[in-house]
C-alpha cells in the first residue's frame, strides 16, 4: 500500500524534528495508523461469535469454572466452529491436564477495550465465582489510542476484583500488532512498539497483584509471523482455529500455575515473585 504524502511528511518530522514537534508527529502518525488499520482490516467476520459455553469432559466430574474476559480474541472471533474458540480449546486442554471437567463461561465481547472489563464483571451472575479467569485484551486500546496508564489502571482494577473473589487470574498480554501484515510499513512498526509497551505494563500490573501474565508476543507471536496463512482468519487480524489452538496450548501452563497445580513457568510466562520461571 502506497503511503500518502501527509504520512510521509509526518514521518519526516518524527525522524528529523525534535522536542515537541517529534511528540506531536508521533501522535499524529499513531492516529493515522489506527485509521489505516481499521480501513484495511474492515469487518469481514462481523461481530457474532460461536457460543462455546458448556461443561467440557463432563465424565471427569468435580468441575472447574473457567471464565474468559476481554475482547474478540477472548470471545473467539475468527474460529470456524464453537469447539475451535480460545475458550473451548483451553477448557478441553485444562480438563485433560487436571482430569476434572471444566465449565466455560465467556463474558468477553467483540470490540472491548480494557475499560470494559468492569462491565463484563458486573454482568456475571450473582454469586458466580470462577476458579480461574483468563483475560485477553489490549488490541482495541492500541487502535483507539488509549493511554497505557489508563489501560493499566483498568486491568489492575479487574485483576484485583477477581483476586478478592478468590479467583486465580491469567492475563494474555496484548498481541504483537507488528505481525499484522495487512497493515503497511512503517505504520506496522508503530503498532509493534505500542503493543509491546502495553504488554509490558499489563505484565507488570498482573504479577504485582498476584496473577500470571503470558506474553502472547513471545510465546505465539513467532508462529503468527512465520505462518500467517494458517494462524490468521480471513481478516488477517484475528486468529484462525489453528491460531486459537496454538494460543490455548501456550496459555495452559500459566493456567495450571495460577491454580496451584504446577510450579513450572515456561519462557514467556510471568508469575508473582514467589513463582520462579523454569530454567531454559
The backbone torsions φ and ψ at residue 64, rounded to the nearest 5 degrees and listed phi first, read: -100, 145
Alpha-carbon distances, residue 151 vs 13, 174, 189, 201, 252 (angstroms): 28, 11, 21, 9, 24
Alpha-carbon distances, residue 199 vs 152, 206, 209, 252, 272 (angstroms): 9, 10, 16, 19, 16
Closest alpha carbon to 87 in 70, 68, 63 = 68
Instruction: Give the burial class of 160: count Cβ atoms within 10 A of its Cβ; 0-12 exposed, 13-18 middle, 19 or more buried.
Output: middle
Catalytic option among 84, 103, 109, 238: 238
Catalytic option among 71, 131, 176, 235: 235
Longest CA span, the chain: 65
Catalytic option among 50, 71, 72, 270: 72
238 is catalytic: yes
Q: DSSP labels for 178-193? A: GG-TTSPTTHHHHHHH
50 is catalytic: no
Catalytic residue numbers, as ranges = 72, 235, 238
Amino acid at each position: 500500500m502506497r503511503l500518502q504524502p501527509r504520512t510521509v511528511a509526518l514521518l519526516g518530522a518524527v525522524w528529523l524534528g525534535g522536542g515537541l514537534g517529534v511528540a506531536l508527529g508521533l501522535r499524529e502518525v499513531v492516529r493515522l495508523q489506527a485509521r489505516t488499520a481499521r480501513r484495511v482490516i474492515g469487518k469481514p467476520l462481523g461481530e457474532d461469535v460461536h457460543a462455546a459455553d458448556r461443561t467440557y469432559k463432563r465424565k471427569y466430574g468435580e468441575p472447574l469454572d473457567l471464565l474468559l474476559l476481554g475482547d474478540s480474541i477472548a470471545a473467539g472471533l475468527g474460529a470456524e466452529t464453537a469447539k475451535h474458540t480460545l475458550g473451548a480449546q483451553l477448557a478441553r486442554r485444562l480438563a485433560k491436564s487436571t482430569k476434572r471437567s471444566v465449565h466455560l463461561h465467556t463474558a468477553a465481547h467483540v470490540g472491548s477495550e480494557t475499560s470494559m472489563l468492569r462491565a463484563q464483571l458486573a454482568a456475571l451472575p450473582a454469586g458466580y465465582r470462577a476458579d480461574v479467569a483468563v483475560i485477553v485484551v489490549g488490541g482495541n486500546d492500541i487502535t483507539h489510542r488509549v493511554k497505557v496508564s489508563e489501560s493499566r489502571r483498568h486491568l489492575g482494577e479487574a485483576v484485583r476484583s477477581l483476586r478478592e473473589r478468590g479467583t486465580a487470574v491469567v492475563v494474555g498480554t496484548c498481541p504483537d500488532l507488528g505481525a499484522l501484515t495487512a497493515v503497511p510499513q512503517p505504520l506496522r512498526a508503530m503498532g509493534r512498539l505500542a503493543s509491546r509497551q502495553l504488554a509490558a505494563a499489563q505484565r507488570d500490573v498482573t504479577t504485582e497483584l498476584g496473577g500470571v501474565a503470558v506474553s502472547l508476543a513471545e510465546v505465539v507471536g513467532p508462529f503468527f509471523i512465520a505462518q500467517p496463512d494458517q494462524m490468521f482468519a480471513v481478516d488477517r487480524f484475528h486468529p484462525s482455529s489453528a491460531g486459537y489452538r496454538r494460543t490455548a496450548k501456550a496459555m495452559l501452563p500459566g493456567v495450571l500455575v495460577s491454580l496451584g497445580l504446577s510450579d513450572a513457568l515456561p519462557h514467556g510466562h510471568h508469575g508473582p515473585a514467589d513463582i520462579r520461571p523454569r530454567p531454559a
